[in-house]
Amino acid sequence: MRLEPGSVRGAALARTIRALLSADELPSPVDTRAVIPPTSEAFVRRVANHNVWIWYRATDVELVLLSATSEPPNPIDSEPVRRRLEGRPRLERSPVLMLTTLPWTPD
């Protein structure tokens, strides 16, 4: 995915990341739990009005931004994905590049 500096799409991505950082609770009802190929899990939030998806993990103390993609997620609750995951061990590490780890403290 390519983002031009100062673009509307880039600004929307930044707004969505700020919303993740200021959220009282993660994941929120607008987020989707999805599979990161091959079998790792993360939460995904769509950037409003754009075909941009932010993949993240969150704990009580940090927000880990995994990736931003132009491909929509395959929700883990879908039957085909659930069948593929049955019996496979859950991976603790993501096979995608971690962009950054930011401190996160809910207000």
Tens of pLDDT, residue by residue over 16-45, are 999 999 999 899 888 988 877 666 788 899
pTM: 0.51
Q: Is the pLDDT of residue 74 over 70?
A: yes
- Asked if the bond preceding 80 is cis, omega within 30° of 0, the reply is no
Sheet holding 100-103, edge to edge: 32-36, 40-46, 53-58, 62-69, 100-103
As a whole number, mean pLDDT of residues 47-62 equals 88
Query: Mind giving me the DSSP string for 51-103?
Result: S-EEEEEE-SSEEEEEEEESSPP-BTTSHHHHHHHTTPPPPSS-SSPP-EEEE
pLDDT of residue 38: 63
